[in-house]
Amino acid sequence: MTNEPMTPRGYDELLREFKYLKEIEKPRVNQEKQRAAELGDRSENAEYHAAKEKLRHIDKRLFYLNSMIEKAQIIDPALLDHSRIHFGATVGIIDIQNDDEFSYTICGTLESEPENALISVHSPLARAMLGKEEGDEFSVNLPNGRKSYEVVSITYREVFELKKNHRSEKDFGFH
């Protein structure tokens, strides 16, 4: 069983979604299914089949979230050595071939937003950067070929300050 690194807030968000789905959404959809079943013939009852499908999705998501909770390795980046790249680091890198600059923050799978430069600790780029210091060079195989970079900065900022996609209970639901 591999560990799943996440920030303390990421873990809290994971628990919040799990609890909401288990205690609020699943019972609500179960009631929907019961009401639909009371309408009679289930074979042609669209509401009944829709509720059953929602329950299947909820159960799959609960199973996934539970496995993430079991594998959770809570890491507070503020407590790590900031001279090296670790989980939670915001890393400035430069492409050695063309001098293009990029900045990425390494975070947990459920916290990642690749479109907003929040990359999973399991991604090839993040794995290649871990343990490096400013001035270190590294190469990594990416979908568009092998690239070489130099680390130009390492800073630590709260991951959730950088997130743009904050989920609420309405995002957890299956309406």
Strand order of the sheet with strand 118-120? 118-120, 101-107, 89-95, 145-156, 137-142
Flag whether the pTM goes above 0.85.
no
Strand 101-107 to strand 4-6: parallel, antiparallel, or no bridges (unpaired)?
Answer: unpaired
Share above pLDDT 70 across residues of the chain, in percent, rounded to a whole number: 97
Check whether 174 has a pLDDT greater than 70: no
Distance between CA 141 and CA 150 in Å, rounded? 15
Average pLDDT, the chain: 90
